[in-house]
Amino acid sequence: MGLVEFARSPWGQDVPIHIAWFLIYVCAVGGLGFLIVHAIYVRYFAKEEEFAGSTSPQVAATVPARVARHSFAARAFHWIMAAAMLTLLFTAFLPKVGVQFPWVTYHWIAGLVLSASIIFHIIHASFFMDFWAIWPNKQDMEDASNRLKRGLGQDAPAPRRFAKYPFENKMYHGVIVLTGLGAMLTGIFMMFRVRTGIFPRNPYLFGDMTWGLTYVLHGLCGVGLIALVIVHIYFAMRPEKFVLTKSMVFGDLPKEYYLSHHDPERWVVTERSLAKGAGD
Ligand code: HEM
C-alpha cells in the first residue's frame, strides 16, 4: 500500500498523480488520537503549572486591567483564514470520502481567499507587528526543555514565564507556515489545470511528472492540515486555554492572567507601549 497513486502516461511512463486517499483517515485519526492522549495526560498525570520569578508590585501597577493581545487587523486575518481553511478542508476531502458535489470551484475560490489573507498577514507581520515575537529563541528552548524534564519527573529549574507566545505556539505556527505555504503555492499552479476565468487554462505549463509531484505535495500539505486544524481547535476549546481563544475575539486578556503566565520584561505592555501599538 503506497503513499502515492501512480498512473501510466501516454508515453508509457509511471507518473505520480496524487496521494493515496487513505492518508485522510491516517491524519484524522492521528489528530484525534493526539487530543485523547493529551486530555488524559492533563486530567490524570500533569502537575500544576509552575513558573520561576514574579513581578514587582511597581511593575504590576503599570499594567492595564485588560492587556491588548491582538489588534483588529490580526483578529480579522485569523477568522477569515479560519473560514477559508475549513472551506478548503471540507471541499477537498468530503468528495474523497464519498460525499459527492461539484467542489472544485468552491475550493479554488476559498484558496484565493486563503492566499490573499496569507499575503496580507505576511505584510502586516513584517512591517506593523513585532515580527520576531512568533519565532522560537534560545530562552524558549531552555524553558521548554526544563518543562519537559519536570513533566517527566526529573530535576530541573522552574521555567520562566512566557514572552508573548509560548514555545509550543511558536512551533505550531512554524509548521502551519510550511504546510499553508505549500498548499497555497501548489494550489495557485493547479489553478492552471481548471477553468477559472481568471487566467487562461494551461495544462501544458508543466510536464506530467512535475504536475504529479505538484498534486502530491498539495495533497500532503492538505492532509497534514487536517491533523493540525483538529489539534488547533482542540487547544482553543480547552478550558484553561479558553481565555486565549476569547482574546482572538475581543482582542485582550485579563491583567491577572497576563501577570501569572507572561513575563512583563519579555512581553512589555505598559499603557505607554500599548499606545505605540504593541497589542498586535
Ligand atoms: C487547507 C488548504 C488546502 C487543502 C486541504 C487542499 C486540498 C486539496 C485536495 C485534496 C485536492 C485534490 C487534489 C488531487 O486530486 O490530487 C485539491 C485540489 C485543488 N486545489 Fe487545493 N487544498 C488547499 C488549498 C488550496 C489553495 C490555497 C488553492 C489555490 C490557491 C487550491 C487550489 C486547488 C485546485 C485548483 C485544485 C483542483 C485541481 C484539479 O482538479 O485539477 N487549494 N486541493
DSSP, residue by residue, 190-235: HGGGS--SSS---TTSS-HHHHHHHHHHHHHHHHHHHHHHHHHHHH
* Mean of pLDDT values over 83-93: 98
CA of 211 to the centre of ligand 1 (A): 13
Helix, coil or strand: residue 117: helix
The answer, yes or no, to whether any atom of ligand 1 lies below 6 A from the CB of 227, is no
Cα separation, 4 vs 15, whole angstroms: 10
Q: Which grid cell is 252?
A: 485582550
Cα separation, 104 vs 275, whole angstroms: 45
Is the predicted pLDDT of residue 66 greater than 70, yes or no? yes
Lowest-confidence range among 53-57, 84-88, 215-219, 255-259?
53-57
The answer, yes or no, to whether any atom of ligand 1 lies below 6 A from the CB of 104, is yes
* Mean of pLDDT values over 247-264: 96
Cα separation, 112 vs 193, whole angstroms: 15
Average predicted confidence (pLDDT) for the chain: 94
pLDDT at 269: 87
Helix, coil or strand: residue 107: helix
pLDDT at 104: 98
The answer, yes or no, to whether any atom of ligand 1 lies below 6 A from the CB of 191, is yes
* Mean of pLDDT values over 184-210: 96
Question: If you take atom 41 of ligand 1, which residue's CA is the nearest one?
Answer: 193
Q: Which grid cell is 221?
A: 500539505
Q: Are 17 and 7 in contact (CB under 8 A)?
A: yes
Is the predicted pLDDT of residue 274 greater than 70, yes or no? no
CA of 189 to the centre of ligand 1 (A): 10
Cα separation, 143 vs 148, whole angstroms: 9
pLDDT at 279: 46
With cut-offs at 50, 70 and 90, classify the pLDDT of residue 271: low
The answer, yes or no, to whether any atom of ligand 1 lies below 6 A from the CB of 107, is yes
Is the predicted pLDDT of residue 280 greater than 70, yes or no? no
pLDDT in tens, 126-157: 999 999 999 999 999 999 999 999 988 899 99
Nearest atom (ligand 1) to Cα of 17: 16
Q: Residue 81 phi/psi, 5° resolution?
A: -65, -40
pLDDT at 152: 86
Cα separation, 194 vs 104, whole angstroms: 8
